[in-house]
Amino acid sequence: MCSGRVDLEFVLRAFSKGMDGVLTVGCRLNECNYITHGNYDAMGMVHICKRLLKYIGVDPQRLKIEFMSASEGILFAEVMNNFSKEIRELGPLGRGEGIDEKVLKFKLEAVRKLIPYIKLVEREKMRVPVKSEGEYQKFFSGSEMDRLFDELILDKLAISQIMLLLREKPLPSGEIAEVLGLNPAEISKYLNDSSRQGLVRYDESLKCYALT
């Protein structure tokens, strides 16, 4: 299977199931067996996923991509051994980062619910036009990617987390801010935006926000 078929959902599902690390292996760049050069798509996916993991507090080193040919069995063994060692040093997922298991599952679920939107944004705004490892590294580590990620994804992720919290029960804005580790002003902005979209409402009797 082409590494370009490794969907963002597959990676996040693996972490949601408790996997401590995920390694994606593809053909060497510019030696794709298909005309699609899907290994570049896989590299872009990994870059985006690393940013998502970092945002929710997971060490992005738990996700890695490597490129090699099918005949390089010795190299594959070395990569697997080194990656396994790195993951053991990081410790179990969540515990290694000091994140409560329930909180981590909640944050991963919030990200997974946003996957269709993230894939749309990636296709429309985050595609590198030149199939070059240098250009991919330059774009995904540059200020333009920082801006796009902040403007197009972070707000949606915060709102996704709020929706999940309110699915359990109505909550005041202060408690939402405390759970998500955001300041009250940010939460007020997200709640106002969600209210205008008809996603949430303020319950006067409970003095809380609830899903509509």
Q: What percent of the chain has pLDDT over 70?
A: 100
Q: How far apart are CA 136 and CA 27, in angstroms?
A: 16
Q: Which of 93, 193, 111 is nearest to 153 (CA)?
A: 111
* Domain chopping of the chain, boundaries: 3-131
Reported as a single tens digit per residue, the pLDDT across 123-167 is 999 999 898 999 999 999 999 999 999 999 999 999 999 999 999
Reported as a single tens digit per residue, the pLDDT across 2-16 is 888 999 999 999 999
Cβ proximity of 16 and 108 under 8 Å: yes
pLDDT surpassing 90 at residue 171: yes
Reported as a single tens digit per residue, the pLDDT across 14-29 is 999 999 999 999 999 9
What would the mean pLDDT of 52-69 be, rounded to a whole number?
A: 96
Cβ proximity of 201 and 163 under 8 Å: no
Q: How far apart are CA 157 and CA 155, in angstroms?
A: 5
**Phi, psi angles (nearest 5°) of residue 21:** -160, 155
Sequence-distant (≥ 6) Cβ neighbours of residue 61 within 8 angstroms: 86, 90
Q: Can you give the three-state secondary structure of 142-154, one letter per residue?
A: CHHHHHHHHHHHH
Q: How far apart are CA 143 and CA 149, in angstroms?
A: 10
**Phi, psi angles (nearest 5°) of residue 76:** -60, -45
Average pLDDT, the chain: 93
31 pLDDT tier (thresholds 50, 70, 90): confident
Helix (H, G, I), strand (E, B) or coil at 182: coil
